[in-house]
Amino acid sequence: MKIIDLCAHQIFDSRGVPTLEARVALKDGTVGVGSAPSGASTGSHEARELRDGGDAYQGKGVGRAIENVNGPIREALLGMDAALQGRIDDRLQELDGSADKSRLGGNALIAVSWAVADAAARSAGMELYQWLGGAQARQLPCPMFNVVNGGRHANNNLEIQEFMFVPSGADSFHEAMRMGSECYHALRRLLSEAGLSTAVGDEGGFAPNLERDEQALEWMVRAIEAAGWKPGEDVCLALDCAAAEWADGEGYRQSKSGARFQRGEMIEFYHALAGRYPLISIEDPLGEEDFEGFREITDALGDDLMIVGDDLFTTNAERLFRGLALGAANAILIKPNQIGTVSETIETVQLARRNAYAVIVSHRSGETLSSAIADLAVAVNAEYIKAGAPARGERLAKYNRLLEIEDRIF
Ligand code: 2PG
Ligand code: MG
């Protein structure tokens, strides 16, 4: 079905920062929309967001990205068949011509790429996950709920960015949501009774000041029990250390306390944590260039834990390829805006799958109300989806969509 119009306009993300939404109109009258989320702890190898600079919006305006959609991108895609997502995404890459999508903007490209997928699915009368995954889509992901926020997602004193509940013992997505929600509310009550802050960070998790990062895990174990579930059986724990933020020359320096560590000490620290708490996954335990360190930690802990590459791989097949050759990590975080188009995202997932890496589809800390990543997770049979706490509209948009898919369709 032919594209007859394409435009973009400014919206605001969940942090109140400008972003863009693209709209694609097809000849049969179908309209599809797509938007660009935005990270805070972004990997250096991510597709570049195009921001205006200058005084307005602290330099974060997206006027130029919008002009690129309304000008050259519109021109290039008019008349193309929206059903041919691969061709459209190739065209977008060709038109941009840069290695990091900096010319037209990764934010412009991903919004358009999603809008085209949405329009094509609607025009075919299909659900987005069906359109993207075809007959292969058959599994709902297990949610990873980020319930304590630190690092760059909160101005508390926690160094680790994300502490997550993972209801891996749930029999259905509905049950997983119930577990996550009950544990989240139990955690709020416990923190509040202890006089700790229950104000939330960027992804809807609590952001208390604690003496040590491990205490977050202790509170979480208590919350699981208080909610009547079994830690390590019904509900496990996961971390996103976002340790690229701590990389400092050969070693690491944590951003808030200034504490310094060598790679080996970091790995020992994680080893000890995994012995003490029911952890099933550690994302970005080391820096984004530390492939060798990822290989070491995967050798040491990879039989029992998911070692997840986020900033390490940036959803980029070439970087994943490098990791595969070394045995660095055993799971990959998938964020479509890190690479810039839907097709490239799916290609990276396929490469991960062929090599038995687990797949976690993920939101960004600055989100929109789009639920497209929920459909993507189902389309590629992702084992997990990470979309923040079971609270806040932009986070629930993804989880609620999965509830809907389970109710109506599975
Ligand atoms: C991450 C993400 C999402 P950001 O590091 O995994 O939780 O954070 O979007 O800030 O990169
Ligand atoms: Mg991460």
Does any ligand 1 atom lie closer than 6 A to the CB of residue 334? Answer: no
The structure tokens listed for 364 are 């960004």
Predicted pLDDT at 240 = 98
Ligand 1 contact via 39 beta carbon (within 6 Å): yes
* Banded pLDDT at 410 (limits 50, 70, 90): low
Q: Measuring CA to CA, which residue among 299, 308, 303, 320 is closest to residue 238? A: 308
pLDDT in tens, 362-396: 999 999 999 999 999 999 999 999 999 999 999 99
Q: Which of 162, 203, 245, 296 is catalytic?
A: 203
Distance 334 CA to ligand 2 centre (A): 10
203 is catalytic: yes
Please give the number of the atom of ligand 1 that sits closest to the Cα of 311: 5
**Tens of pLDDT, residues 183-211:** 999 999 999 999 999 999 999 999 999 99
3-state secondary structure of 270: helix
Q: Is 17 in the pocket of ligand 1 (CB under 6 A)?
A: no
What average pLDDT does the segment 35-44 reach? 96
Ligand 1 centroid–CA 244 distance in Å is 12
d(CA 168, CA 397): 21
| pLDDT the model gives residue 282 | 98
Active site residue 335: yes
- Report the alpha-carbon distance of residue 374 to residue 142 in Å, rounded: 11
Ligand nearest to the CA of 43: 1
Question: Model-level pTM?
Answer: 0.98
Condensed to tens digits (0 to 9), the pLDDT of residues 251-310 reads 999 999 999 999 999 999 999 999 999 999 999 999 999 999 999 999 999 999 999 999
Tens digit of pLDDT for each residue in 206-232?
999 999 999 999 999 999 999 999 999
278 pocket-lining for ligand 1 (C-beta < 6 Å): no
- Of 173, 331, 176, give the one whose Cα is nearest residue 239: 331
- pLDDT, averaged across the chain: 97
Query: Does ligand 1 have an atom closer than 6 angstroms to the CB of 244?
Result: no
> Which of 15, 145, 161 to probe ligand 1 with, by most ligand atoms within 8 A of CB?
161
pLDDT above 80: residue 409: no
Ligand nearest to the backbone CA of 149: 1
Q: How far is the CA of 202 from the centre of ligand 1 (A)?
A: 10
Q: Give me ligand 2 centre to Cα 40, in Å.
A: 10
Q: Is 362 in the pocket of ligand 1 (CB under 6 A)?
A: yes
The verdict on the CB of residue 314 being under 6 Å from ligand 1 is no
DSSP H or E segment with residue 399: helix 393-408
Q: From edge to edge, which strands make up the β-sheet containing 18-26? A: 3-12, 18-26, 31-35
385 beta partners = 143, 361
Q: Which of 46, 147, 362, 384 to mutate to test the pocket of ligand 1 (most atoms within 8 A of CB)?
A: 362
* pLDDT score for 230: 98
Q: Is the CB of 242 under 6 A from ligand 1?
A: yes
Quick one: tokens of 343?
Answer: 């097709």
Find the DSSP H helices in 302-384. 317-326, 336-339, 342-354, 372-379
The first and second tokens of residue 332, run together, are 């990959």
In this structure, what is the dihedral angle of CA atoms 330, 334, 338, 339, given to the nearest 10 degrees?
A: 90
Residue range 65-114, pLDDT digits in tens:
999 999 999 999 999 999 999 999 999 999 999 999 999 999 999 999 99
Return the ligand 1 atom nearest residue 310 CA.
6
Mean pLDDT of 138-155: 95
What is the number of the ligand closest to the CA of 284? 2
Query: Which ligand 1 atom sits nearest the alpha carbon of residue 162?
Result: 7
What is the reported pLDDT for 138? 87
CA distance 253 to 298: 22
Atom in ligand 1 nearest the alpha carbon of residue 364: 9
Pocket test for ligand 1, best of 162, 284, 286, 394 (most atoms within 8 A of CB): 162
Is there an atom of ligand 1 within 6 Å of 364 CB?
A: yes
Ligand 2 centre to CA of 284 (Å) is 6
CB 141 within 8 A of CB 378: yes
- 240 alpha carbon to ligand 2 midpoint, in Å? 6
Q: Using the mean position of ligand 2's atoms as its centre, give its distance from the Cα of residue 283 in Å.
A: 6
Structure tokens at 304: 């029992």
Report which of 325, 330, 331 is spatially closest to residue 361, judged by C-alpha positions: 331
